[in-house]
Amino acid sequence: MARIPRITNQQILEAARQVFLQQGFGASTLEIAQQAGISEASIFKRFSTKEELFFAAMGILEKPLWVNELESLCGKGDLKENLINICLQIMEFYREILPRIMMLRSRGNAMPEFGGKESRPMLDVKLMTAFLEREINQDRLRPCDPQTVAHILVGSVMNYVFLEQMSSQVSMPTAQSGIGTYLNYGDPATEVSVFILNLIDIIWQGIAPSQD
Sign of CA dihedral 40, 44, 47, 53: positive
Buried b (16+ CB within 10 A) or exposed e, 51-73: eebbbbbbbbeeebebbeebeeb
Domain boundaries along the sequence of the chain: 9-58, 65-207
Confidence of residue 175 (pLDDT cuts 50, 70, 90): very low
Q: In whole angstroms, give the CA distance from residue 149 to residue 202.
A: 11
For the range 39-47, what are the long-range contacts, defined as Cβ-Cβ under 8 Å and sequence gap of 24 or more? 42/7, 43/12, 46/9, 46/12, 47/12
Per-residue pLDDT reduced to its tens digit, 114-144: 555 677 888 899 999 999 999 999 999 999 9
Measured distance between the N- and C-terminal CA atoms of the chain, rounded to whole angstroms: 65
Q: Specify the CATH class of 9-58 in words.
A: mainly alpha
**Cut 0.85: pTM above it:** no
Say how far apart CA 62 and CA 150 lie, in whole Å: 19
Report whether pLDDT(150) > 90: yes
Q: Kindly report, residue by residue over 43-81, the tens digit of the pLDDT.
A: 999 998 898 898 888 887 667 888 888 888 888 999 999
Chain-centre distance of CA 49, in angstroms? 22
Mean pLDDT of 139-168: 91
User: What pLDDT is recorded for position 2?
Assistant: 52
- pLDDT, tens digit, 9 for 90 and up, residues 6-55: 788 899 999 999 998 888 888 899 999 999 999 999 999 999 889 889 88
